Structure 1
Amino acid sequence: MSQTFVLTQAGFKLEAIIERQNQDVLIQLIGGDVPHYGVVTTVGPTTEPQTIALPSRPGHHHQEGVLTELMARLLKPVLQNNAVIVSGVHVNCIQPEQMQAMTGMVTTLSHEIGSWLTAHPREKVIERFAKR
């Protein structure tokens, strides 16, 4: 099952694509002029967000962790299990008002995702392990 949420504001589009496996959630937060994958943030109901930023160009790393960590903090209270947020958002020649809009857009998308997750819980599939 997957679900997509889209928000357009300040001259660019931000998209959140959600997929579920058991009670785990994968969220792709992508958008702008050059969608890509630049950071990975993980979070669970009992863990704090952890982020890995991939190299973007020589001497630099992707900065979307600011967005994914915000989303992780907002979603943490409604998670049934782990969430992985993969993100890449690049707006060419970004303007200050676009950077400012980005935080509000991520907050709005996070609330929409949280409402959807709450309305569509998953029953846990029980894992069984081999006996030795």
Structure 2
Amino acid sequence: MAEKTFAVTREGYTMQAKLSRENQDVLLEITGGDVPHYGVVTIVSPHQATQTIALQSRPGHQHQEGVLTERIAAVIAPALQNNAFIVGGLHVNRITKQQLAVAGAMAQALGEQVRDYLLAHPRDEVIEEFS
């Protein structure tokens, strides 16, 4: 398994992506801010529509990072050779309007870094054999 880390910093906080690969599949962990965590999963596949699952963050609320993981998913989709799981969660304590306003652009930039890396480093498919 190969791992690669990417990061974007703006308005006093960092959003990062840790990319892991198994065969032609991709696992991306999107974290950052003051409290990195896992709260959403976005599934990207050339064989089905993108889907996001958001877990509860506190009573009556769900994690909102799907907005970011779905943006990254849209950017990297053309570079995928097979499936991708994007797991994400970032929390900036007492986030300001300016910090919130740059989050989408940060996700876009992070997705572009990942996309460019995937395009530059394709994987040969390991063929599965079945009995």
Give TM-score scaled by structure 2 length. 0.97
Structure 1: stretches of 5+ with no match in the other structure:
none
Which digits, 9 at most, give the CA deviation of each residue in 1:7-32, with x for residues without a partner? Answer: 11111011100000000000000000
Q: Distance in 2 between matches of 1:49 and 1:89?
A: 21
Q: Measure how far apart 1:46 and its partner are.
A: 3.7
Q: Which amino acid aligns with 2:86?
A: I
Question: For 1:90 and 1:48, how far apart are their aligned partners in 2?
Answer: 27
Matched with 2:73 is: 72
Once the two structures are TM-superposed, the CA of residue 96 in structure 1 deviates from its matched residue by 1.2
Aligned residues: 130
SS in 2 for 1:51: strand
CA distance in 1, matches of 2:105, 2:83: 24
Calculate percent identity across the aligned residue pairs: 52
Unaligned runs of 5+ in 2: none
Question: Runs of at least 4 residues of structure 1 off by over 2 A?
Answer: 45-48
Alignment of 1:10-89 (within 5 A): 10-89=11-90
Q: Secondary structure at the match of 2:37?
A: coil
What's the secondary structure of 2:72's corresponding residue?
helix
Q: Which moved more, 1:97-106 or 1:22-31?
A: 97-106
Deviations 1:41-68 (A, max 9, x none): 0001243210010111011110000000
RMSD across aligned positions (CA): 0.8
Residue type of the alignment partner of 2:113? E
Aligned to 2:118: 117
